Structure 1
Amino acid sequence: MPDRFDRRTFLGRAVRTTAGGLLVPSAAAAFLEACGTGTSSTTVPSTPRKGGSLTFATEAEINSFDARQGAWDSTGLCYARTVFDPLFTQAADGSVKPYLAQSIAHNPDYTQWTITLRPGITFHDGSPLDATVVKANLDGVAKSPLTGPALFNLDKVTVVDAMTVMVSTKIPWVPFPIYLTGQLGHMAALKQLSDISGKANPIGTGPFMFKEWAPGDHFTAVRNPNYWRQGLPYLDSITWKPIPDPQSRGNSLKAGNIDAMHSSDTQNVADFMNSGSYNQVNDLNSVLGEPDMGFVMLNTAVPPLDDIRVRQALAYATDRQKYIDTLGNGLTKPADGPFAKGSPYFGPTGYPGLDKNKAKQLVAEYQAAKGPISFKFGIINTAKGRQQNELLQAMWKEVGITTEIIQVEQSPYILNAIVGNYQAYGWRQFNTPDPDGNFVWWHSSTALPVGTQALNFARNKDPQVDQALITGRTNPDPAARAEAYKSIGARFGADIPYIWISAAVWIVAGGTKIQNLGKGTLPDGTKARGMASGVISAAEIWRTS
C-alpha cells in the first residue's frame, strides 16, 4: 500500500509538526529499520574496482543528521550509514554482531549490558571513539522527546573505563542490542553533539565524509581516507538524491539520470525485479524480522468502530487478494497478522477471511441494535490514495457499510492519529528486526484516551497482548518469545484493530555497472545482512567503469 500514509511519512513529518509540543510520538520502528533481504539478480565481476562516483535516488528527504532530532526512515538510515557507523549491525542470518563495538555481554537477568569498543577508531574530525562519546550519544537519544520513547526501559549509561560502557535497564531487556543497530546506535562526535540545533553537519566514523547537503536536492559525501575498515570504501564519492515520486524515480533510472534507487512502490518492483538490464535486490520473500504491513487502522475507542461486530464485518468484507491484484501488481500475498509466513513469530491468527454473508449478518445485528453503520475513512491527499480507499469503500458498501472518504494533508493526518481524531485510516507500519520494537505501538499503557497524545494509535487495549509483550522483552528462551508473539497475532485476529492487506516489498536497483548493491560484510569478513527496507550501506558498492 505504497500511497497510504505510513510510518515513513509519519516520521518524516514528525519534527515539522511539533511546534505545539507534539514531538513525543515519533517511532521506535524507524530506529530499528529492517525488513530483510530476499532475492537478487546481480552480475558481479570478481575484483572490486576503486574509484568513481554514484548517484542514488531515495524516496524521501531527511530533516536532520542528528539522531536526537532526525526522523531517520529508510532514506535517513542510508544517509546515516554513509557518514556514521553503528555500534552493532546484523549478520546475514539476522543475528546481532559488533561493529564499532568489539563485544557486548549481559548479566544473568539481562538488566546490565557491558559494551566494549574497538580501539583506534577516530571520527572525521580526528577525535577518538571512546566510552565518553558513546555515553553522550546514548544519553542524548534517551533524553530526546523524539527518540526517548523507544528507550523508556533504559535506566542509565555508565562509563566503566576508557573503552567500556555499561547500560542498565529497568526490567530485563533480552533483545536490547537490536536497538543499537539502527538510529539509536549510530555514533556522532562530541563536536556535532554539542550543537543542539539539529542543523550541524554530520561528524561520524563512517566510510564517507560530509561534503555538502542541499535539502530536497542532494547530499554528497566523499571517501574517508582514514576509514578504520582497511580497503573501504571503494567509491570516491556518493550522492543521494531524493525523488519522492516513484514513477519519476524509476524513469530516472531507465533514462540513466541516476545510477541506482530504492523503492517500495509495487510498480517499480515489478519493472526492475526481473529485468536483465539492471542489478537488483528485493525483499519479496524475506522472513527475517518483521516487515512493514499495509492495513487500515481502526480507532477502537470511537463509534462505530468500538463495536467488535463492525470491525469483524469489515474484515469479512475485505477482499485482500482483489486489492493486491488490482493495486499491488499481484506481487504479495494477503496478510492476516503482523508477521509473515516463514517467520518464527508467524502462527494461526484466526483473522476473519473473506465471507460477505457473514459480514452482512454482523451488519444486520449491529443495525438492529444501533442503526446504520457509517464512518469517515481517511487517506492522505493523493490520487493513488483515493483510488485505494475507493476500492475498499466499494467492498464494504456491498455488505451494507457506508463510508465517506476524507483526504487529509499529511501534517494534520499525523496529528489526528496521535490524538485519536479519526475513525479509520490507511497506514503502513510495524517493520522491525525484532518484534520488541513494536512494544510502544501495541501496549495498553500507550493507548491513551481520545484527545490525548498516544502511540497506540488504534487505542486497542488487551491485557493478553500486554503480557505477551512483557514475555517477549524479558524471556531469553527463543521458543517462549516466539509463542508470545504468535499469541499477539492471534489476539489481533480477535480484537481486529487492523484490517490487514499485505506486506510491503522493497527493491534496490541499479545499472549493470553498479556492483554489490545491497550486500556487505562485517568487520570479521563474514556476510552482513543486506538490503533491509530499502536501507543499504554504500561502503562496499563499486563500479565496473
Structure 2
Amino acid sequence: MKKKKFLTLGVMLLLILSTILAACGGSDDKDSGSKDNASGGNSAGSGGEKTLVYGRGGDSVALDPAVVTDGESFSITGNIYETLVSFGQKDMTINPGLAESWEPSEDGLTYTFKLKEGVKFHDGTDFNAEAVVKNVERWKASTDKFPYYSSQFTVSGEHVIESVTADGDYTVVFKLSQPQAPFLKNIAMSPFAIASPTAFEADEEGLSTQPVGTGPFKFVSWVRNDAITIEKNPDYHIDGLPKLDKVIYRSIPENSARLNELLAGNIDVADGINPSDKATIEGDANLQLIERPSMNVGYLGLTVTRPPFDNVKVRQAVNYAIDKQTIVDAFYEGLAEPAKNPMPPVIAGYNEDTVGYEYDPEKAKALLAEAGYDGKEIELWAMPVPRPYMPDGQKIAEAIQKNLEDVGIKSKIVSFEWATYLEKAQNGEADAFLLGWTGDNGDADNFLYTLLDADNIGSNNYTFYDNPELHKILVAAQTEIDEDKRNELYKQAQEIISEDAPWVPIAHSTPILGASTKVVNYSAHPKGSDRLVEVDLQ
C-alpha cells in the first residue's frame, strides 16, 4: 500500500511535540540500548535490560547436568541448576548451596543435610527433601545413563550412596556403604545439581533440551550450534541476584572469529582465547584479560584395547616421541607447563618425583623395534573445539603427527562434531585422541579414579585402561580419611600410570578469557564453568 500523502494537523503537531520532548529527555550515549539477539553485545544504560553476550568455542551437548560430561554443557547448567553444597566463587572450598548446613557422622557413613526453605524450581515445583530423594533415586536407577554418578558414586559396581531418605520436609539423610573422603566435594559437582522432579518424571529425555532447576537463570531457547539464551529468575531465593537480565551464549568455533567479535563489541565475554592473543586484549583499552586458575590437564589418549596401543612398549614409545615443551612453547605462549602426570601440581597428592618421559626420538624408535611395530597407519583424532586445556586441537594434532612421523608412526588426522567426537571416543573407537580434563572438585580422585580406573570404562575412562593393582590403590584412597595416607596412595598410583602409559600428558594450562571493561564482578572459576549470578554490566 502507498503511504498517505498528508496527516491531519493535530497529528502533525503531536509528532513534532513528541520529537522535541524526546530530544530534550534523551541521551547521546550509544550504549544505552539493549540488544536481545545473538549477534550483538550489550551494555545496558540506566533502566535498560542488561543482556550479556558470551562467546564460546562450541555448543553444549545437552542441558541435563546428570547425563553430560563436557564443560560447554556445564557452563550453562551451572547457571540454571544448583547443588546441595557449592564451591566458593573463586576456589574449591565447600559452601552452603540448597542445603544450609550439613553434619557427618563420626564414622563417615551418614550425612544429614538441612535444606533451605522457600525455594522453588522454575516450573513452580517446591524444592524440598522429597525432591532431593527423587533426584538421587533417579541417578541410582540407571547408572549407565549417568556417567558422573557411575564415576563418583559407584565402586566395583556397588553404590557408595546406600540410601537417601527424607526426615521431614527440609532434612535429608544420606547413608553410605563405605566412607568416601571426597563425598562433599563430589556432591558439590555440577552433575549432581537438583532438577525438578515434576519435569523429569513427566519427560526425562526432554530435560536435556528443556532444563528446569532452581538457579539464578531460567532457560529460554536453544538454537543448535548457534545460541542458548537464559534469563533472570525473578523468584530466585537470594535477594538482589542475579544482576543480569539475560545471557546469550553464542557458539563461535574459530578462535580468531571469536576474538574479532569481542574486538568489534558484538560479544561481551570471549572464552577460549588463544594464548597468542593475550597482548591484543591487554592492548585494547575497552577490554580486560581474565586468567582462570589452572586445574586441568590436556592429553593424548591411547586406546589400550586397539592395536598398536595394546602394547605397552608402543605407548611408551609415543610418550618419548612427543616434544611437549615445543608444543607448549608454540601453542600456549607461556600460559602452560609441560605435564608428566595425569593431574596438575595444584592437586594434593601430586607426585613431584614421577620421572615421566623426556623427548627422546631415539628411545621411541628402539621401543617400537622391541615391540615389533608393523608401521600400520593410525588415526589421530583432533578436538574440533578449543578448550582451556587444548587451545587449538587441530594445530596440536599436526605437531604430534610430525613427532610420530619422525619415529616411524604414520597417522591420519580426523575429527568429528564435538558431541559425536566425545561419544565415539567414549565407545573406544579412536586409536589416539586429543582430550583433556578440568577438575570438578579439586580432588585427586576426580582425576585418577574418574579418568583412569577400570570402573569408569564406558564413562570417563576413554582409553579403556584397566590395571587391577591401580584399582585397589584408588579404592583404598577413596575410603582413607587420613589426608597424608591418601596422598601417598595417589603418589603410588601416578607411578603405575606413568609406567603403563595409557596417556601422553601434554600440558597444564592457565586459560584466559577476554571481556569488555563494562563487565564487572566476573570470577573465572578453576573448574572451568563460571556462575554468572553476581556478574553485572556497567
TM interval, short-chain normalised = 0.7 to 0.9
More displaced 10-residue stretch of structure 1: 488-497 or 54-63: 54-63
Q: Distance in 1 between matches of 2:336 and 2:356?
A: 18
Q: Is the 8 A contact 1:122 1:129 kept in 2?
A: yes
TM-fit CA distance, 1:386: 5.0
In the TM superposition, 1:90-129 aligns within 5 A as 90-91=87-88, 92-129=90-127
Q: Deviations over 1:205-229 (max 9, x none)?
A: 2223334443433333333333221
CA contact (8 A) 1:58 1:244 kept: yes
Q: Distance in 1 between matches of 2:340 and 2:185?
A: 26
Which of 50, 56, 71 lines up with 1:52 in the alignment?
50
Q: TM-score, normalised by structure 2?
A: 0.79
1:377 match: 379
Q: Are the structure 2 counterparts of residues 430 and 239 from structure 1 closer, same or farther at C-alpha, using a change threshold of 3 Å?
A: closer
1:232-252 CA distance string (max 9 Å, x none): 222232222222332222211
- 1:487-540 CA distances to partner (integer Å, 9 max, x unpaired)? 22222221111112112443332111110112xxxxxxxxxxx52344111211
Q: Which residue of 1 aligns with 2:227?
A: 218
Among 72, 75, 79, which residue is 1:75 paired with?
A: 72
Contact 1:88–1:98 (8 Å) recurs in 2: yes
Query: What is the rounded CA distance, in whole Å, between the counterparts of 1:332 and 1:74 in structure 2?
Result: 19
Please tell me the residue identity of whatever aligns with 2:145.
L
Where does residue 262 of structure 1 map in the other structure?
271
* Residue type of the alignment partner of 1:149: S
Aligned length, in residue pairs: 471
**Distance change (3 Å), C-alpha of 1:462 and 1:271:** farther
Query: Can you list the C-alpha shifts for 1:401-433, whole angstroms capped at 9, x where unaligned?
Result: 222214143466545534434432222236332
C-alpha distance 395-127 of structure 1, shift in aligned 2 (>3 A): closer
Distance 2:430 2:127 in 1: 46
CA distance in 2, matches of 1:220, 1:426: 30
Q: Report the residue type matching 1:436 in the other structure.
A: D
Do structure 1's residue 86 and structure 2's residue 93 form an aligned pair?
no
Residue 66 of structure 1 is matched in structure 2 by 64
Give 1:139's aligned residue.
137
User: Which deviates more, 480-489 or 207-216?
Assistant: 207-216
**Alignment partner of 1:441 is 2:451:** yes
- Partner of residue 169, structure 1: 176
State the SS of the aligned residue for 1:203: coil
Greater C-alpha Rg: 2
Cα distance, 1:444 vs structure 2 = 2.9
Looking at structure 1, the residues matched to 529 and 384 of structure 2 have their Cα atoms a distance apart, in angstroms, of 25
Aligned position for 1:357: 362
| SS of equivalent to 1:336 | coil
1:475 to 451, 458, 480: 480
Q: Which has the higher contact order (CA 8 A, sep 6+)?
A: 1
- Match of 2:267, SS state, is coil
Q: 1:72·1:183 contact (CA, 8 Å) conserved in 2?
A: no
Aligned mates of 1:213, 1:417 — CA distance in 2: 26
Name the counterpart of 1:542. Answer: 536
Measured at CA, do residues 50 and 535 of structure 1 come closer, stay the same or move farther in structure 2, by a change above 3 Å? farther
How far 1:140 sits from its partner (Å)?
Answer: 2.0
Offset of residue 275 of structure 1: 5.4
Using the TM superposition, name which of 504-513 and 474-483 deviates more: 504-513
Distance across 2 between alignment mates of 1:77 and 1:414: 15
Of 171, 181, 186, which aligns to 1:179? Answer: 186
- State whether residues 137 and 193 of structure 1, in contact with CA within 8 Å, keep that contact through their aligned partners in structure 2: no
Q: Indicate if the aligned counterparts of 2:300 and 2:504 stay in contact, CA closer than 8 A.
A: yes
After superposition, the Cα gap between the structure-2 partners of 1:264 and 1:458, relative to the gap in structure 1 and judged at 3 Å, is farther
Q: How far apart are the structure 1 equivalents of 2:474 and 2:230?
A: 41
Aligned-residue CA RMSD in angstroms? 3.0
Is 124-133 or 332-341 further displaced after alignment? 124-133
Verify: 1:337 aligned to 2:341, yes or no.
yes
Q: Partners of 1:189 and 1:445 in 2: how far apart?
A: 29
Match of 2:299, SS state, is strand
Partner of 1:149: 150
Preserved contact between residue 445 and residue 474 of structure 2 (Cα < 8 Å): yes
What amino acid is aligned across from residue 79 of structure 1 in structure 2? I
What SS class does the counterpart of residue 100 from structure 2 fall into? strand
CA distance in 2 between counterparts of 1:479 and 1:435 reads 13
CA distance in 2, matches of 1:61, 1:302: 30
- Counterpart-to-counterpart distance in 1, 2:186 and 2:201: 23
- How do residues 350-429 of structure 1 correspond to structure 2 at under 5 angstroms? 350-366=355-371, 370=372, 372-380=374-382, 385-399=393-407, 401-410=408-417, 413-414=421-422, 416-429=424-437
2:133 maps to a residue whose letter is: K
Q: CA deviation at 1:105?
A: 2.1
The 1-side partners of 2:248 and 2:307 are apart by: 49
Match of 1:161, SS state, is: coil
Runs of at least 5 residues in structure 2 that lack an aligned partner in the other structure:
1-45, 155-159, 386-391
| 1:67 CA displacement | 3.3
Structure 1 unmatched ranges of 5 or more = 1-47, 448-452, 519-529
Q: Offset of 1:373 from its aligned partner?
A: 4.4
Instruction: Indicate if the aligned counterparts of 1:109 and 1:172 stay in contact, CA closer than 8 A.
Output: yes
Contact 2:215–2:233, Cα closer than 8 Å, also in 1: yes
Letter in 2 for 1:137: N
Verify the 8 A CA contact 1:234 1:541 in the aligned structure 2: yes
Distance 1:386 1:222 in 2: 35
Distance (whole Å) between structure 1 residues aligned to residue 194 and residue 325 of structure 2: 43
Aligned residues of 2:384 and 2:415 also touching (Cα < 8 A): no
SS of 1:339 mapped into structure 2: coil
Q: Tell me what 1:16 maps to.
A: none
Cα pair 1:49 1:234 within 8 Å, conserved: no
* 1:354-394 superposed Cα distances (whole Å, 9 cap, x missing partner): 2233334334434xxx3644440321486965543332232
1:532 aligns with 2:526: yes
Contact 2:276 2:331 (8 Å CA) reproduced: no
Which of 447, 450, 464 matches 1:459? 464
Cα distance change of structure 1 residues 273 and 168 upon mapping to structure 2, 3 Å threshold: farther
Distance 1:273 1:497 in 2: 39
Q: Is the 8 A contact 1:339 1:345 kept in 2?
A: no
8 Å CA contact 1:141–1:184 kept in 2: the answer is no
> 2:201 maps to which residue?
194
For the residues of structure 2 that align with 1:131 and 1:188, how far apart are their CA atoms? 13
Please state if 1:304 is matched with 2:308.
yes
For the residue of structure 2 that corresponds to 1:502, the secondary structure is strand
How far apart, CA to CA, are the structure 2 residues paired with 1:355 and 1:320?
11
In structure 1, the partner of 2:257 is 248
